[in-house]
Structure 1
Amino acid sequence: MLWGALPYMVIVFCITATIWRYVTNPFSWTSKSSEMLEKRLLRWGSLLFHIGIFAVICGHIAGLLVPIEFYHWIGLSDEAYHMGAVFGGLPAGIIAFAGLVILLVRRYTARRVRATSSVGDWLALAMLIIVIVTGILATSANAVNHSGFDYRTTINPWLRGLLVFQPDPALMQTVPMNFKVHILLTFVLYCVFPFTRLVHMLSMPLGYLRRSYVLYRRRDGAIYPNQNQEQQKERAM
């Protein structure tokens, strides 16, 4: 149930709920920027989180979707891979976590931001923090204990089997509990995803690349902030 049926149930629910929101309430599809309410903490928190989470996602793709045979084929030893995963993945997770903590503190301490926060805003932050913390703890414990567990031989083929509709739940039997908890909490995050501001990650504002410039004018008709010579002559006449 957990490692065979549940992943597909979560995926179907997440996709269906996301499409339903986009179709029925497209104007809610936004990141709900609160930059005008508070900028200093937002700048640092958002920057750290996005840099960290981008590196985390890239690390997950490399570790969970790329078969272990590929790394052996390019001559990368298991020791070198795990060293790179620990010294690359852990800092990325910590950076993302630090950014989320700053954003959480900002949302609580900035009065105007707190007043405009919804339940979904708090839930999204809480779930992201929990998922990242469990991932950091699982990776750290595996590195410190030298358990010899290699997710490329268990979680990796299990996930790839799900993607090709050939699930093998037996691969998850030997996976340490901390990794299982991390994965299950990720499922919860996917279920929360369609109802929060996190949906904005699915949108790419490609229209801005071909959109005409927006010209801001003063009440007297002049382009702000500078006026070209022709406009000055016309006004003079």
Structure 2
Amino acid sequence: MAHPVDWFFWTVYPYLMLGSFFFGTIIRFVFYPGTITAKSSELLEKKRLMIGSIHFHIGIILVFFGHVMGVLIPKSWTDALGISNELYHMFALIGGGVGGLLALVGIFILTWRRFSDIRVHLTSSMSDLIVDVALLVIIILGMWASFVAGPRNPDFNYRTSLAIWARQLFYFRPNYLLMVGVPLTYKIHVVCGLAIFGFFPYTRLVHALALPWQYIYRRYLVYRRRPTI
């Protein structure tokens, strides 16, 4: 039997977090554009920053698009193309495993750097510390769900429950009952993932949306060699 808590988390909570993401992002870009920055600490420590940042960014991009494809592509489409459920999951685990491992290694290095390097730690805000830990936790949960919770629940197929519920969010008719039977690890992963979206505009993560469009149309900068006498 469904509980009111289930109704809240799978009907109300997603829109609270997504609403915070969209409206918070608009407000920050319109009223506080000067605060949108990655606030690099490269001058304080560079080696671990470069290694961790490259691994994390490549991995999180792969993970993001993997999640988008996993949620937006219905099972009926892959069935129509003759792609079996086993083959789909095999490719999903390989792709997700590579992306997840890269992201996990990257965020672990970045989190370790932020807490172990005294200069980086002292110049970090509380938001920076929370974001790093939160990302580390959610990536671990995602890997655990894919490679531990999934095999332990062979009868569970997220494409016939969780993915359908996620698509229903886009047309404002989520059936929260689809999430009742989802394994707990997946539920925690979804709750934490939505929380990341909810707090996204109020952290340094928002710099990911600040694409440097001005570089496309700005005038060229001409550098001239200083003449020697």
TM over 0.5: yes
**RMSD over aligned Cα, in angstroms?**
1.7
4-13 vs 53-62, which moves further: 4-13
User: What is the match of residue 195 of structure 1?
Assistant: 202
For residues 219-230 of structure 1, the aligned pairs below 5 Å read 223=224, 226-227=225-226
Q: What letter matches 1:151 in structure 2?
A: Y
For residues 92-107 of structure 1, the aligned pairs below 5 Å read 92-107=99-114
125-134 vs 138-147, which moves further: 138-147
Instruction: Give the distance between the partners of 1:14 and 1:146, measured in 2 at CA.
Output: 32
User: What is the match of residue 146 of structure 2?
Assistant: 139
47-56 vs 199-208, which moves further: 199-208
What fraction of aligned residue pairs are identical, expressed as a percent?
38
Aligned pairs, number: 222
For residues 1-237 of structure 1, the aligned pairs below 5 Å read 1-145=8-152, 147-215=154-222, 223=224, 226-227=225-226, 231=227
Instruction: Give the distance between the partners of 1:44 and 1:211, measured in 2 at CA.
Output: 31
- 1:89-128, Cα deviation, whole Å (9 max, x unpaired): 1221121011001111222233332221111111111111
User: What is the match of residue 5 of structure 2?
Assistant: none
Counterparts in 2 of 1:87 and 1:18: CA distance versus 1, 3 Å: same
Instruction: Give the distance between the partners of 1:123 and 1:213, measured in 2 at CA.
Output: 40
User: Between Structure 1 and Structure 2, whose CA radius of gyration is higher?
Assistant: 1
- Preserved CA contact (<8 Å) 1:124 1:193: no
Identify which of structures 1 and 2 has the higher relative contact order when contacts are C-alpha pairs closer than 8 Å and 6+ apart.
2
Instruction: Give the distance between the partners of 1:36 and 1:55, measured in 2 at CA.
Output: 28
Gaps of 5+ in 2: 1-7
Instruction: Give the distance between the partners of 2:168 and 2:214, measured in 1 at CA.
Output: 37
TM-score, normalization by structure 1: 0.87
148-157 vs 85-94, which moves further: 85-94
Instruction: Give the distance between the partners of 1:84 and 1:30, measured in 2 at CA.
Output: 36
Counterparts in 2 of 1:146 and 1:179: CA distance versus 1, 3 Å: closer
Gaps of 5+ in 1: 217-222
TM-score, normalization by structure 2: 0.90
> 1:215, CA displacement in angstroms?
4.9
